[in-house]
Structure 1
């Protein structure tokens, strides 16, 4: 109803014919009276709907400096962003992500991240409690001093809990990224089949975002991903991938709104 009334007001204000303007205004007033809607509210509603969206920059707080596991949390957000037309810069400490995109796309990313982060942490905690990672060993390099010389030897040691957790969460995030990318591709193909001009609209959107990113971003260097300095656990990666396949991609009921910062 707000849209209908606002449309009539817009027609009344855009015509040069005073008789037409009076007719449109009267029609708008009749509808507004019947629906108990203020004309100013309807006018503001229409102006908001017709305002052209432009890309924005938003800061996403991943966690406090020094907290372990931030790289896998950041990897999860980056995977979600890549499937939702949002470009990102990230601090070297993985504590903050600078998201560049349209506000509605960033909102989707934050809502998905809030839900999937909870699922990822819960699933990895459950995996660690199962203890199956303890049955696996990994090769490590040990440095020893022998006869005044430093000697490096490769030994097999049990997989540490922190190694299992990081491998699990990294595989989870990677699987989520692939699922979202596939869903995006399917949605775009369906939209293009229904409306032939969709591909051109999406291309224009990508160009606008790219230009905005280039003119706004001050990033230098490259981010060190979650695999830096982390041992390998095949069992944990397989378990994380399975959990990523089973994760819900909707917003979790316990988190109805996007969370900007992780709880302590």
Structure 2
């Protein structure tokens, strides 16, 4: 490791030690900084000064992510995909009732990662669902629907079976795709953090500090009220479309870069 990177890493640990109110955490960060300093013959005061002059305090930001125009059909599953990606990259979100705009709260690097992944995975999701619909296997499946009729002075509900509609198949496919992507990214996030903790003891505390800072920023900035209802499952279900969407989500390319590249950089501050 270069001396510049070592100074930055030690300085970051010192800053964590100085910013926490928990004495045990402070001692752990300071001990980690001292071990690195001793091993590399770096003076702690030099590392502290280096970090202070090299970088300014990075704080969370709010960014608006446009999912689509008002009135466009299918935005719910597009939004689901972005939310699944955000959840695995330490980004909290508010969303409009129409699913047209997402308010993303997080560190700029993390939001950048979310936007990059979303741009790629959205194209893959739409192409895969289009191919599935063209194949037409969903037409062999039926789904139960409830019909309401007015008979005399009362309303009568009748459950009937109908072929799965194309729009139902698309929504089920894309919802399953988004859910699988979220599961894959969450698994990668957990593995990455575990490996980082082994490589640099104290990483878990750094990550927790980051999460607390984001939580405080979100609470002080967000003006959201109520809950988003777009994550409710569609009334009509297609098991075939759900299975196909899940398979496509398993096979989707997540890109050549790690899913959490910004996390690794931030840990060295």
Measured after TM superposition, the shift of residue 229 of structure 1 is: 4.8
Whether the 8 Å CA contact 2:171–2:234 is kept in 1: the answer is no
1:42 matched to which residue of 2? none
1:259 matched to which residue of 2? none
Whether the 8 Å CA contact 1:115–1:251 is kept in 2: the answer is no
- Counterpart of 1:194 (choices 192, 199, 216) is 199
User: Matches of 1:58 and 1:190 in 2, distance apart?
Assistant: 30
Q: Does 1:144 align with 2:161?
A: no
Measured after TM superposition, the shift of residue 235 of structure 1 is: 0.3
- Counterpart of 1:239 (choices 222, 239, 244) is 244
- Counterpart of 2:184 (choices 179, 188, 204) is 179
User: Matches of 2:226 and 2:241 in 1, distance apart?
Assistant: 30
User: Matches of 2:106 and 2:134 in 1, distance apart?
Assistant: 39
- Listed as ranges, the gaps of 5+ residues in structure 1 are 8-45, 253-264
User: Matches of 1:198 and 1:171 in 2, distance apart?
Assistant: 33
Q: Greater Rg, structure 1 or structure 2?
A: 1
2:103 matched to which residue of 1? 98
Q: 1:121 to 1:184 in 2, by over 3 A?
A: same
- Listed as ranges, the gaps of 5+ residues in structure 2 are 8-50, 258-269
Whether the 8 Å CA contact 2:99–2:230 is kept in 1: the answer is no
1:112 matched to which residue of 2? 117
Whether the 8 Å CA contact 1:112–1:251 is kept in 2: the answer is no
The worse-fitting range, judged by mean Cα deviation, of 238-247 and 224-233 is 224-233
Deviations 1:153-208 (A, max 9, x none): 00000000000000000000000000000000000000001111101100100000
Residue pairs, 1:1-264, within 5 angstroms: 49-227=54-232, 229-250=234-255
User: Matches of 2:52 and 2:201 in 1, distance apart?
Assistant: 28
Q: 1:116 to 1:161 in 2, by over 3 A?
A: same
State the secondary structure of the residue aligned to 1:72.
helix
> Number of paired residues?
210
Measured after TM superposition, the shift of residue 54 of structure 1 is: 0.6
State the secondary structure of the residue aligned to 2:227.
coil
TM-score w.r.t. length of structure 2: 0.75
State the secondary structure of the residue aligned to 1:140.
strand
User: Matches of 1:156 and 1:71 in 2, distance apart?
Assistant: 26
Measured after TM superposition, the shift of residue 48 of structure 1 is: 8.8
Whether the 8 Å CA contact 1:114–1:251 is kept in 2: the answer is no
User: Matches of 2:147 and 2:193 in 1, distance apart?
Assistant: 51
Whether the 8 Å CA contact 2:172–2:234 is kept in 1: the answer is no
Whether the 8 Å CA contact 1:111–1:251 is kept in 2: the answer is no
Deviations 1:118-162 (A, max 9, x none): 000000000000000000000000011223432110000000000
TM-score w.r.t. length of structure 1: 0.76
User: Matches of 1:50 and 1:209 in 2, distance apart?
Assistant: 19
